[in-house]
Amino acid sequence: MSPRLLLMLAILPVTLPAGRGAAQHFSAAPSFGIDYENNTFTLDGVPFRYVSGTVHYFRVPRAYWSDRLLRLRALGANVLETYVEWNSHEPEPGEYQFTGQQDLVAFLQEAQRQGLLVILRTGPFIDAEREFGGLPYWLLSADPQTPLRTSDPRFLQPLDRWFDVLLPKLKPLLYENGGPIIMLQVENEYGSFHACDYVYLQHLADRLRQHLGESAVLFTTDGDSQSLLHCGTTPAAYATVDFGSGTDVAAAFGVQRLFESSGPLVNSEYYPGWLDHWGYPHSTRSTEDVVRTMNEMFDMQANVNVYVAHGGTSFGFSAGSNLGNNFQACPTSYDYDAPIAENGYLTDKFYAMRNATLSVATWSVPEPPPQPAVLAYGAVQMTASEGLLAAVRGLADDPVTSDDPLTFEQLRQAYGFVLYSHNVTGVQPDPVLLNVTGLRDRGYVFVDGAQVGILSRGENIYQLPVSVQEGSRLQILAENQGRICFGNFLNDIKGIVSPVFLGSGRLSGWEQLSVPLNSTQLGRVERLLAGRATNRLTAAAAPAFFTGEFDLPAGVDADSPTDTFLRLDGWRRGVAFVNGFNLGRYWPAQGPQVTLYVPGTLLKAASNRLTLLELEEAPCLATDTCRVTLTDTPELDGPTPH
């Protein structure tokens, strides 16, 4: 027995996974378990093997859930794997959302209707390149140093309250109760986090069993190295590994065997592609390598989850960020070079992976559905409607004043922007150095209403020479580009998190206006911009709102409009909205993502309203061409500076 296991057994009241050490025998009641003697899962007492695929309900428009799950089935999957995203279900403490896009139960029931079993990853942390790794921002409001993902009561109390709401909704959906859920994950890649808190992992397992019963099959997932599994596993759950194509499969599963000497081999995240960051080349994995490694796992009788089978889109401000050598924000598209593309298109990789799965499938696999329709609706003329600084007074609530700048979390704001304003006092050198080392993440600097420069965490630009005089209005529009979603630096406070200096002088006396651009504020934007059109050379100076309208062409089914892609040639950086829905961030000047996916479900027959908040530079500042294009061709591999 390993020293790690001896330590955990000494300090924890351990509940072992159901069936550990003995085969599961046939029962008339539905059952799922682990047969350790024969190294397999069992379903109703019969040996069971799965090929699953990840599809996130929160990244796919609800109207498309059925279609994407059908495509998953056609890939050859007999199991759906998905996360539960805490922050989308509890956006504010005690405010729960389980309807519409957040109707988790309906998503799982649709999977069952299509013949899929479910592996559910309940978090609370999910990573998934999502804002704050799926954690709600307000965990950092009371204490920005809250010990996340630990047994500290400051984290466990809100977590337990959340589980008390979530888990009772899941119990009727367990396989033993006639539902589709066969396994549930304890935490997520916890070995990649510094805390190594075994009490915390055991607490999660205990809470899952308290609500779901002792027979629930629990598992953990970690990268294929002994050091990661050392802190990521618990005797209360079955240990699995994750790895991508080109990995030495025997060696990777050898690591799993160090922690599970018997039982089924499982790759809980097999990567057919990889994630992207703004400013860096689009990630791809060759189909040949993906299929080769897949077949090697199949030859070892392994169970495989494809992460992701279909990535979808991080609409709105839901994309996260990472902190490698520098701060790296994730783009809106989560295409991931997956077998099922962002809009549901079945790629060559899909058909190659399907053929590999068919070689081992003992379950029925449907024929692939037709490719999804996509249309080029053409150019949309855009008109400068209002500068952001002029508009913000009508958008925001009353300003909040403070000596030093307040963070997003102190303002109880999740996403979007905060406009910080300060009136300069005293005589300053010309120029004088503005120092905002606490900027998180991007700052647009204005003096008396004119933009004078950009500060950027991602580019390590925190200082800017400015020309001011006594009485000048200094303003910084701070943007949250997505809280960090992986690693040891999750306490990622947003806004301006430390004092601001002008020369050697600390600036005291700030006014904050919140610009979250949430659904409430978007309504104000639409009302404010309605009917407005101003001179392109004045109001078009970014940041500014631009609006345009378009109708569906003749022949398009108005009851079921077709998907399209928004192309923003000449535009630099901002946020796009269609009919009040936040499509997400665009940044074609950085790449690799050039187009934004526009689901047809957002469109209507006539008077579709397109709104852009352009933050840096609109093409009509230099020319009379101020338009965007709705095209039938996505571009996710555009040029990048890195």
Residues annotated as part of the active site = 189, 269
Backbone angles phi and psi of 74, in degrees to 5: -70, -20
Q: How many residues does the chain have?
A: 642
Task: Please spell the DSSP secondary structure of 451-474, one letter per residue.
Answer: EEEEEETTTTB-EEEE---TT-EE
Secondary element (H or E) of residue 222: strand 217-223
What secondary structure letter does DSSP report for 261? S
* Strand partners for 567: 595, 629
Is-contact 600 438, C-beta < 8 A?
no
Q: How far from chain centre, in Å, is Cα 591?
A: 18
Q: What angle do CA 504, 480, 195 make, to 5 degrees?
A: 95
Whole-number Cα distances in Å, 484 to 359, 514, 564: 40, 21, 30
Tokens 């039938």 sit on residue: 632
* Strand partners for 586: 574
Is-contact 416 392, C-beta < 8 A?
no
Q: Name residues whose C-beta falls within 8 Å of residue 318's C-beta, 6 or more positions apart in sequence.
A: 58, 88, 130, 131, 584
How far apart, in whole angstroms, are the C-alpha atoms of residue 433 and residue 508? 16
Residue 125, SS3? coil
Task: Please spell the DSSP secondary structure of 392-457, one letter per residue.
Answer: HHHHS-S-EEESSPPBTTTTT--SSEEEEEEE--S---SSEEEE-TTEESEEEEEETTEEEEEEET
Closest CA to 70 of 325, 316, 367, 404: 367
How far apart, in whole angstroms, are the C-alpha atoms of residue 212 and residue 259? 25
Q: Name residues whose C-beta falls within 8 Å of residue 538's C-beta, 6 or more positions apart in sequence.
A: none
Closest CA to 442 of 321, 276, 596: 321
Is-contact 559 615, C-beta < 8 A?
no
SS3 per residue for 150-216: CCCHHHHHHHHHHHHHHHHHHHHHEHHHCCCEEEEECCCCHHHCCCCCHHHHHHHHHHHHHHHCCCC
Q: How far apart are the first and last CA of the chain?
A: 47
Is-contact 233 257, C-beta < 8 A?
no
Whole-number Cα distances in Å, 43 to 80, 119, 171, 175, 400: 16, 14, 18, 9, 58
Backbone angles phi and psi of 211, in degrees to 5: -90, -30
How far apart, in whole angstroms, are the C-alpha atoms of residue 564 and residue 380? 13
Closest CA to 566 of 637, 639, 636, 631: 631
Task: Classify residue 271 by burial, with Cβ atoms within 10 Å: 0-12, 13-18, 19+.
Answer: buried
